[in-house]
Copies of this chain bind each other. A is one copy, B any other.
Amino acid sequence: MKFHVEQAVEILSKTPETVKSLLENLSDERTKTGDNREDWSPFDVVGHYIHAEDTDWIPRAEIIFKQDAERTFEPFDRYAMFENSKGKSLGELLETFAERRRKSLETLKSWNLTDAHLQLKGMHPELGEVTLEQLLATWVVHDLTHIRQIVTGLAKKYSENVGVWKEYLSILK
């Protein structure tokens, strides 16, 4: 698919609202952290979105956009939220995520990116050379990946309750 920044922004701008709609009225039992690095709760996922907002997407995009001499990204800490989110409520995290995302997209729009900008390159610490288009597309897919993780986790809580219907429900497999 031809990549359009505005279409990516259409999705990116709605993620905080979508996640809030999924989670805001759920009881704690289904959202709170289990402090499990391999099995993230919705609370953990929202903290992870915030950390990526602060240290990954725009900071990396800026390195590419500005084309400084040193273009290697800082490694991203996938588990930082277990510490950062301590003592916070899910409601606070949802608000913080929405606010940070708004700022990120303001910054992105202020660059008035052209197709030429999208082909500029930075250096991923593990993957090597990457373009700005690849980074922005990954941002979108990452948003969707974690919505998928939230809904899959919520569904799995009903694995036993669905009885014989389980065989029709691929999300439980």
Binding site for B on A (CB under 8 A): 1, 3, 7, 10-11, 13-14, 17-18, 21-22, 25-27, 30, 124, 127-128, 130-131, 133-135, 137-138, 140-142, 144-145, 147-148, 151-152, 154-155, 157-158, 160-165, 167-172
Interface of A (DSSP majority class): helix
Q: Give the residue of B26, B148, B151, B163 whose beta carbon is less than 8 angstroms from that of A10.
A: B26
Complex: how many Å from CA A157 to CA B52? 22
Q: Give the residue of B14, B17, B18, B138 whose beta carbon is less than 8 angstroms from that of A162.
A: B138
Do A142 and B169 form a contact, CB below 8 Å, given A18-B21, A151-B148, A154-B11? yes
Complex: how many Å from CA A1 to CA B30? 10
Complex: how many Å from CA A131 to CA B161? 10
Complex: how many Å from CA A124 to CA B163? 12
Q: Are A165 and B10 in contact (CB under 8 A)?
A: no
Q: Are B161 and A137 in contact (CB under 8 A)?
A: yes
Q: Which residues of B contact A25 (CB under 8 A)?
A: 10, 13-14
Q: Which residues of B contact A21 (CB under 8 A)?
A: 14, 17-18, 21
Q: Which residues of B contact A140 (CB under 8 A)?
A: 154-155, 158
Complex: how many Å from CA A138 to CA B164? 10
Q: Are B169 and A138 in contact (CB under 8 A)?
A: yes
Complex: how many Å from CA A137 to CA B148? 19
Q: Which residues of B contact A124 (CB under 8 A)?
A: 164
